[in-house]
Structure 1
């Protein structure tokens, strides 16, 4: 809305003047411009995280980059900036996301990011959380082990967690990397698949619901659920095979 306002600024001023409507004051235009500068990166991040190919492991890196932009914005603005408080509130809102194990472990197990976005203390906490999952007999299917065996396993897992990321291209799917290295990192690859498969948003599933609403209509309301599911599957997976229809 604000973007559209700035594009038709002159037309809005003329329309307001011709129809005796109170015009937008210069200081209000300044607020709109500040809002655009502040919120544009968040809009771009929202679109990126709403993609069906997005992984939950990208949330913390994107948030970290936005927090840096917020710091830069706050550093260059004055105390009288109209939306300085909004920028400070946004920074507070997103600053504690790395404390969430779901996001933190997924990011740490993504070979594109690994420990780049974590402090050493946070990294140790993430390692402990991963080792706790590995030592859980319910999740691994292994029996309880002796303390010496646990120490040995911890050392081996830490050695596996220490190497630098194996992916330099951010567009590459990290699950493919884990598939290639599955034989060497069997336990970690199982955990990685569990966490990296989580989507960052519910947008793709909501799109499926919308697609189902387009399939069912008053003239096709007796369509069997199994056939509707197949139609949805074909619609959303045909681009993988570059099928042109």
Structure 2
């Protein structure tokens, strides 16, 4: 709303001068609106990012608890008039998402996402807890495979260059990634430990890349991790995309096409949602 008003600043000012309006927006108010819109810009960017159909649960911790907190806590020369607003927003973010790093749905998904890995946890205790949860899940998978006598191997993944982002939220993500240093690695005794440490020690991939493409290529190198990916990276971080299914269904089922069986309608919706950009990953996601 503020951005729309700012875009029409010149037109509104001319209209107010030509019609001699009793109340007009002062220069100080225009400046305050510009600074307010600048503070709220990362929230809009984050809302759009997590509402995409490609967004997963792995995007929550890096974007909200790390990057957004850093953007709001950064002091700038243009903060005059909006400092209280920024501090209030920062307090609200810290209160609402204080325990999100302890939730396995988010923490495990972040670790197995090759764009993030362990670089964006704000507390070392939460990171240790997330790694323990991940190892436990991997050991369960390895025990199941050992019982079925399924072979597996672990090999290091190739390094991929990282690209910088342009937006303020993306810049904060890049800063956190550059500041993060890998800690000392302890001696591993299990295959799960080996896989996790080799995987986390490698460079992250660019954020614009599809993490499922990475795991489709490296699934045989990290079999236990890849098995977790099929469950963790499929979980969306919001309900926006699922609510869009109602619009898709209304485009398929209408007054002239109302005799579809529920099974046929479900198949058509699935094809509609997967045929664009996800076709090459369907077999990997649906792999049992």
User: 4+ residue runs of structure 1 moved beyond 6 angstroms?
Assistant: none
Calculate the TM-score normalised by the size of structure 2.
Answer: 0.66
Contact 1:2 1:36 in 2 (8 A): yes
Matched, 1:88 2:90: yes
Larger Rg over CA atoms = 1
Distance 1:78 1:30, change over 3 A: closer
Query: Does 1:9 pair with 2:9?
Result: yes
Structure 1 residue matching 2:36: 3-state secondary structure: helix
The 5 Å alignment of 1:32-47 reads 32-47=33-48
Unaligned runs of 5+ in 1: 144-151
Q: Residue 147 of structure 1 corresponds to which residue in structure 2?
A: none
CA contact (8 A) 2:49 2:55 kept: yes
Q: Is the 8 A contact 1:113 1:165 kept in 2?
A: no
2:184 corresponds in structure 1 to none
Whether 2:234 is the aligned partner of 1:197: answer yes
1: distance between equivalents of 2:274 and 2:219?
A: 26
Alpha-carbon separation, structure 1, partners of 2:22 and 2:82: 28
Aligned partner of 2:73 among 71, 74, 90: 71
Q: How well do the aligned residues superpose, as a CA RMSD in angstroms?
A: 3.4
For residue 127 of structure 1, what is the aligned residue in structure 2? 131
**Which sections of structure 2, spanning at least 5 residues, go unmatched?**
148-186, 281-288
SS in 2 for 1:44: helix
Q: Give the conservation status (yes or no) of the 8 Å contact 2:114–2:211.
A: yes
How many residues align structurally?
Answer: 233
Residues 116-155 of structure 1: matches in 2 within 5 Å? 116-118=119-121, 119-134=123-138, 140=144, 155=190
**Correspondence 1:115 to 2:150:** no
Decide whether aligned partners of structure 1 residues 55 and 116 sit closer, same or farther in structure 2, where only a CA change above 3 A counts: same
